[in-house]
Structure 1
Amino acid sequence: MPFTRNSMRRTVTTRLNVGILGATGAVGQRFVELLEGHPWFEVAALYASERSADKPYREAVNWQVPVPRPTYVDDFIIREMEPGGDVDLVFSALPREPARTVEAAFARAGIPVISNASTFRMDGDVPLVIPEVNPEHTALIKVQQKSRGWQGFIVTNPNCAVIGLVLPLKPLHDAFGLRQVQVVTMQARSGAGYPGPPPEVINDNVLPFIGGEEEKVEAEPRKLLGTITGDGISEAALTVSAQCNRVNVLDGHLESVSLGFEKRPTVEEVARTLREFRGLPQEAGLPSAPEWPILVLDEEDRPQPKLDRDAGKGMAVTVGRIRSDSVLDIKFMVLSHNTIRGAAGAAILNAELLKGDVSDLATARTHVQQLVDALGRLDVLVNNAGIWTYLETGTGNEAEWDRVMAVNLKSVFNYTDAAVPV
């Protein structure tokens, strides 16, 4: 039975306290920028390495984001990366190896972790999520908590180049059936973190190797486009070949994509399918969601990083130069902002997906009943400020509703739209 959802708008009445792991790094700085004034989340704690711990943020950080540093965090004292800080969830901007122990410690302590790190992405019980692509994969949280004995959980977003690639692949795969993907990436300097490649290496140059990148770009799309089967993901049956390059551009990953399909579409069908695509974040009105996740340009020399990376406040991807391909079927260029949609913005959108808004029992029942009507008897994942329970619907069990509402500690009843037919 396919995943189905009803369109709904969200009105959240309580902001959750959030922390940022790795707050002084390049992606951590983007989290600080993007979370300023967020309607659902309030930054309450910043975490970094021992070198930065116990210092005010303004002294610990070497601010590199091309906007002024938000003053709201200036006097935050950096905490060591241990669970604590009175937070309801944390965003992780940690490198791969520190994430292995730190993220697990927070999840074990009952604190949800919304991670940009690659460490756990391909684990069978960890959701790897783009909200427009596979929101139903959040149902793996239940599997993860059971298998690992955690009260919290880890949800990840994909590699920065993968997000820009898979957003247009999703509607095309649904409509025409993808068989093959060939992609050549031209990835911005900022994707290497700070300080990145030194000027004498990157100036007047292209670096034709990014360690571990091609493996991620070839593996992650299959999980993202896969389906939930039992306690895991059945990966999509497509082959992906990637070549990844670092180029001397500040922000914005540009990718040259060629696709082979089960049912070959026309150029016009591809353009129309991409232009019309909207996902759950757009239907639900999530705060960070762009109105249109994919923009299609007709100009022959677009997209370009300097002109198009900030589309949708950096959260939309831009597709151009859609043409027939003489080797496969269709080819195009796609551009995404690697530190916004490809990193911090992606994680924030994942957190918004997981945080619902149902503020009373009657509204909760109405929304859940919509899912029941669409899918039949199902389990709905219910979340309140990091406390997760699992409600078996369709039983009319008043005691079960009372149990779920008893965890309403923040005066907001939260749930995900992810539903798994039973």
Structure 2
Amino acid sequence: MPPQSPPVTTEILVLGGGIIGVTAATYLAEAGRKVMVIDRSGICEETSSGNAGALAFADILPLAQKGMLRKVPGWLADPLGPLAIPPAYFPKLLPWLMRFLLAARPAQFETAVSAQAQLMKLAQREWQILLSRASLTHMLREDGALELYDSEAEFTASSVVDEVRRRFEVPFLTLRSGEIAELQPGLSDRFRFATFLPGWKTVADPRQLGQAIWTYAESAGANFSPANVTEVKLNGGMISVRTADGRTFLAQKLIIAAGAWSHRFTRVFGDPIPLETERGYNTTLPPGAFDVRRQLTFPSHGFVVTPLATGVRVGGAVELGGLRRQPNFARSQAMLSKAAAFLPGLKIEGGRQWMGYRPSLPDSLPVIDRSRHSPNVFYAFGHGHLGLTQAAATARLIRDLVLEQDLPLDTEPFKASRFKR
């Protein structure tokens, strides 16, 4: 046998090269810490590459809320609708679904929406600061977003969302047909009602943004190693990480930011987390497919249309199907067909289909915490479809936890221990 290479040592090891891991590594490298990120694919090459590109600071409602729950039976009746659960996966998903239903109870709902609103305010501040420090403000688009409703009943039902937004001072405007056309020409005339969210932002391209932030992190001293992690364990006072190619990494501190795979590692440290996988689908059409002025969201249909520097992205929906099932790209096609009806003249040729794994927790809140049993291990995952939006806030909190500094908000709602109560 060839001699085994000596372990690679670092102060802080980050598992996961998605936008959460990248921003956490950036904040720590800026603070002068020696940081290394490990990921099997690269920097922002998986779920963080194909998201809708939104900084959705107005999206403060958890998925488990009455307005959403009323829609679930109808959505499940359509295998290509906004929500799908493969029948064979349902038994495995049942415990998570029970927690999801319990999260809609008034007390749990109020806790979640309040925590989400605080995290969003922090995210908005931290993103502005980070993009300025990294000289990347040119990648931010501040055009707002349109929520479009094709029936008066759906628009009336959205008043529940509006009330929550008023309580937490999230700005929005109610629009009618003529006003909608001014903000987005070329829409189908079926949309007679809309909500405009002026604080909603998008980025030029989520993959390009993540990689640009990483370039900035490298300039601050952060390092990256491509590797598929097979084992994580405590080794004396250190964390030992083994990879598929036989290498060993030793670190003083570990940050688990591995998205939908994170719960596999937290179990090692005594924290079983009920993490599930929202499989999201999209199609990115070539630039010029349609003159989309700002992100368009279709709440009753479960998808969005986003103008990116790299094209027009049509995607969304939720398929709760785990990590092993093959993609069902008929879901991408179904959303594209609807988009073509909603945006007459949309050129649907030449698109690239994609499927990614969103890490989803029953109460729609991420885990941002220190391990109870291993104080040199930290958790940063479970953001669902809000990973890009909340990345900078999560990085700020993780940095302050690691460096034992004062926190800018109460992290009690984001603790891993909440699932044992």
TM-score where L is the length of structure 2 = 0.31
* Higher RCO (CA < 8 A, seq sep 6+): 2
Is the helix fraction higher in 1 or 2?
Answer: 2
